[in-house]
Structure 1
Amino acid sequence: MLTNWKKSKLGLLAASSALLLAACGGGEETESEVVSSTDPGTEETASGDFAGQTLNVSVEDGYSAFVEEIIPAFEEEYGVTVEITERDMFENLEALPLDGPAMLGPDVMIAPYDRVGGLGQQGHLLDVTLPEDGRYDETDNLQVTANDTIYGSPFVIEALVMYYNKALLDTAPTTFAELEELTKDERFAFASEAGKSTAFLSNWIDFYNSYGLLAGYGGYVFGADGTDTTDVGLNSEGAIEAIEYGSKWFQEYWPQGMLDKTTSGNFIDDQFIGGTAAAIINGPWGAANYRDSGVDYGVAPVPTLPNGDPYAPFAGGKAWVISSYSEVGELAQEWLNFVTNEENQTLLFEEFTAEIPANNASRKVIADAGEDELAVAVIEQYNSAIPMPNIPEMAEVWTGAETMMFDAASGNKTAEESANDATELIKQNIEQKY
């Protein structure tokens, strides 16, 4: 955020976590009768007798202060004890298949959305009941659902947005036509390569970053809300058109270095920080670096695509989940309801991590206030974002689509050939492994 973004150490969870698969364990899937609960402060109280129970909550150190702040109210309401364990989120998830059956793991923890479905399907997470109080919308629900089963409570959200240099642009571009027009501005001419421009840059050589372009043109990963792995839509007519448009930027506007996946991200940051790029696409995790580097930047949703549709990046973030090995599953459900209520979600944003709450009431408060430009942009962009498939088969997409844009942009293949080859590879790998 422009004034209070504290997320730099948390990094990009959606993309990095998708490269890791949860270890397959032998734990049986258990069901828990969950009791309804209302937010603290209402006249009603939660049903059920939890007195004397202990709930173990495991979080990374970035969330410890927040959890410690809200624990007393939860303990008082339910007559229980809450213990905190600090551990890296991914270590937690990787250890769950072994620690859980040995009764060494936590009762509740946090997981990236793209890990929730796989862990749930493998039997490591309890089913979750989401409160029917309007705190979540359809996108939020899809983030934590796999095979029509809900395995977590949405906690925070994120999406790619556009950063622009206020010293170079008076207002944020709103269309890609405007971005193309900027490439004619000699201020952004790339000195090392004649005819090339750094006016606008985006790391589209990486599939995570280019997906917003493909989805905006009608491409998709899996059909049926990301669950039908027999329907891979990365070679649809719209996806091919998007690859053709992306290739245009690589071939006509961008320096050759933008085709290097290992260095393009750093190149983009360097150009933006150095004042030679007017606008770029990145996630909220990039804000701290730009702020610390002294860039006078603004943030806005990614401009409208040439086809008139919005950019549609992956919708990322994290959820609270319950270990299927927990002996206090009903109490854990109450914790999920409590930690994601409006009061606590707003507290998280305002006083602790400044991550964007999943709770829609909290989001509305932030958006209506309009004080945090980054938060407002992320919330608006999230409305057009697409939940990343949270099933194990998604791992084959990262592998299969890894060179899809490069193959077309470099001229090695046509856009259609590149899309067809990537799609076929994904389908073959899924058929062989699942």
Structure 2
Amino acid sequence: MKFYKLIGLSAMAFVMVACGNGSETETGNNTENTENGSNGEVSGSIEVGVGEDYVEFVEAIIPAFEDEYGVEVTVSERDMFDTLEAVPLDGPAGLSPDVLLSPYDRIGGMGQQGHLSELTLPDDGRYDETDEQQVTVNDQVYGVPFVIESLVLFYNKDLIEAPPMTFEELEELADEEQYAFTGQSGTSTAFLANWVDFYNSYGLISGFGGYVFGGDGEDTADIGLNTAEAIEGIEYAQKWFNDIWPEGMLDVTSAGDFIDDQFIQGNAVAVINGPWGAANYRDSGVNLGVAPIPTLPNGNPYEPFAGGKGWVIPSYSENFEAAAAFVAFVTNEENMMLLYEDYTNEIPANQQAKSTISDAADDELAIAVIDQYNNAVPMPNIPEMAEVWTGAESMMFDAGYGNKTAEESANDAVQTISENIEQKY
């Protein structure tokens, strides 16, 4: 496979460090691009901090990187979230790694707070607009896309020959007597989705035309969870909660386990879940099929949150050039295929690697994730997103249980989100 050398990442980046009052001060300078993207000054050593699941992968690529750049790399093993939480204190004390991983939704906030260095993504076609949006806030890039994930449709090949293509087909399956739920007359478990959880239901709301924040997820004055389109999506969910699904689907704490149990027992034909659910389904003996989520009744695709992780460089790193060279090296096509084939089986953000995986057409799960990701929506990566989780937490429950109409539930959620943002930011 062709080896992609690092192209102009670190050389064009600025390192920004937040002052105590939240302002930013430039501490780096623009430099000319060179073939290896450094400026001839890459040297010394860096520490790469990763969780246990990535240690072997990083250690496998270190020799080639060290040979190419003459930089010594050490790997420290620590939980990703623990490492991120420690950066504000460990960074100024010189204890933070030079390179680490972050979920996409954490990158923007940490960048705005001055804890991450600004970067320039390589202009070699390895990322598309969605990838770039995942690591960008206020037109500043604070990370390099690494892996992607998205909700998909899992189906039981012993119960159905091909995956449903539309929600109308799912409704038809729910009418079949063999999928009636024995514990509650008049209900069905043919198709199940944990829509009482906002992360899982957002793809429905977005597919109908709702959204979290306007302006590419950054305009907090424009909350789109109570638009006419979003309300229509909630009303469609009400149909499933009220007319089709058992009452257990409204249990916030146990709906996910109920869905898994019904699918594993063969009582559900299809369920929506993330790629993390595949191993459990296969280990439980399900003849597993995976596909993109069916088209919604309005003809639009289901649009779940686009998730994943990116590499970041704390603004406290004392060897930014070498760290930037590493994050570009670790995300080239060769190394992304190595990660996918030999280590975690995660889907690379790298477009060339994704194309290679899709062309091979022998990994149903990977292809479904890639296809669904093309219709997924980057989760807002600004700090205000924390208030969305709180405000929308009971939105689907209130509407599904009948405590409120879909419109009332949506309006109350938006009001809570707006008030919390106004008070805290």
Pair 1:421-2:412 in alignment: yes
- Counterparts of 1:17-416 in structure 2, within 5 Å, are 29=24, 30-33=26-29, 44-50=35-41, 52-416=43-407
Secondary structure of 1:62's counterpart equals helix
Q: 1:90 to 1:45 in 2, by over 3 A?
A: closer
* Deviation sequence 1:6-57 (CA, Å, 0-9, x none): xxxxxxxxxxxxxxxxxx987874553466778xxxxx44443346410110
Alpha-carbon distance between aligned partners in 2 of 1:51 and 1:126, rounded to the nearest angstrom: 17
Whether contact under 8 Å (1:31, 1:127) holds in the other structure is no
Alpha-carbon distance between aligned partners in 1 of 2:203 and 2:163, rounded to the nearest angstrom: 18
Secondary structure of 1:213's counterpart equals helix
Q: Amino acid of the residue matched to residue 200 of structure 2?
A: N
Q: 1:35 to 1:349 in 2, by over 3 A?
A: farther
Alpha-carbon distance between aligned partners in 1 of 2:43 and 2:239, rounded to the nearest angstrom: 64
Whether contact under 8 Å (2:387, 2:417) holds in the other structure is yes
Q: Amino acid of the residue matched to residue 87 of structure 1?
A: R
Q: 1:58 to 1:47 in 2, by over 3 A?
A: closer
Report what 1:10 is aligned to: none
Gaps spanning 5+ residues in structure 2: where? Answer: 1-18
Alpha-carbon distance between aligned partners in 2 of 1:28 and 1:429, rounded to the nearest angstrom: 24
Whether contact under 8 Å (1:32, 1:329) holds in the other structure is no
Q: 1:376 to 1:37 in 2, by over 3 A?
A: farther
Alpha-carbon distance between aligned partners in 1 of 2:398 and 2:129, rounded to the nearest angstrom: 35
Whether contact under 8 Å (1:27, 1:97) holds in the other structure is no
Secondary structure of 2:182's counterpart equals coil
Q: 1:168 to 1:357 in 2, by over 3 A?
A: same
Gaps spanning 5+ residues in structure 1: where? Answer: 1-23, 39-43
Q: 1:254 to 1:109 in 2, by over 3 A?
A: same
**Pairwise CA distance, 1:187:** 1.2
Secondary structure of 1:409's counterpart equals helix
Q: Amino acid of the residue matched to residue 317 of structure 1?
A: G
Alpha-carbon distance between aligned partners in 2 of 1:194 and 1:225, rounded to the nearest angstrom: 44
TM-score normalised over the length of structure 1: 0.91
Q: Amino acid of the residue matched to residue 133 of structure 1?
A: D
Secondary structure of 2:92's counterpart equals coil
Alpha-carbon distance between aligned partners in 1 of 2:89 and 2:405, rounded to the nearest angstrom: 47
Q: Amino acid of the residue matched to residue 198 of structure 2?
A: F
Secondary structure of 1:275's counterpart equals coil
Secondary structure of 2:334's counterpart equals helix
Percentage of matched positions with identical amino acids:
65
**Pairwise CA distance, 1:336:** 1.2
Alpha-carbon distance between aligned partners in 1 of 2:299 and 2:42, rounded to the nearest angstrom: 57
Alpha-carbon distance between aligned partners in 1 of 2:180 and 2:21, rounded to the nearest angstrom: 58
Q: 1:28 to 1:173 in 2, by over 3 A?
A: same
Q: Amino acid of the residue matched to residue 196 of structure 1?
A: T
Alpha-carbon distance between aligned partners in 2 of 1:132 and 1:388, rounded to the nearest angstrom: 23
Alpha-carbon distance between aligned partners in 2 of 1:405 and 1:361, rounded to the nearest angstrom: 39
**Pairwise CA distance, 1:349:** 0.3
Q: 1:312 to 1:36 in 2, by over 3 A?
A: farther
**Pairwise CA distance, 1:294:** 1.0
Alpha-carbon distance between aligned partners in 2 of 1:274 and 1:235, rounded to the nearest angstrom: 37
Alpha-carbon distance between aligned partners in 1 of 2:32 and 2:303, rounded to the nearest angstrom: 35
Whether contact under 8 Å (2:33, 2:39) holds in the other structure is no
Whether contact under 8 Å (2:144, 2:311) holds in the other structure is yes
Q: Amino acid of the residue matched to residue 362 of structure 2?
A: E
Q: 1:121 to 1:168 in 2, by over 3 A?
A: same
Alpha-carbon distance between aligned partners in 2 of 1:55 and 1:374, rounded to the nearest angstrom: 35
Q: 1:127 to 1:276 in 2, by over 3 A?
A: same
Q: Amino acid of the residue matched to residue 98 of structure 1?
A: L
| Count, aligned residues | 406
Whether contact under 8 Å (1:218, 1:239) holds in the other structure is yes
Whether contact under 8 Å (1:273, 1:290) holds in the other structure is yes
Alpha-carbon distance between aligned partners in 2 of 1:46 and 1:219, rounded to the nearest angstrom: 41
Whether contact under 8 Å (2:43, 2:322) holds in the other structure is no
Secondary structure of 2:222's counterpart equals strand
* Deviation sequence 1:157-188 (CA, Å, 0-9, x none): 00000000001011000000000000111111
Runs of 4+ in 1 over 6 A off after TM superposition: 24-28
Alpha-carbon distance between aligned partners in 1 of 2:181 and 2:65, rounded to the nearest angstrom: 57
Q: Amino acid of the residue matched to residue 256 of structure 1?
A: E
Q: Amino acid of the residue matched to residue 229 of structure 1?
A: T
Whether contact under 8 Å (1:268, 1:280) holds in the other structure is yes
Q: 1:35 to 1:176 in 2, by over 3 A?
A: farther
Alpha-carbon distance between aligned partners in 2 of 1:166 and 1:36, rounded to the nearest angstrom: 55
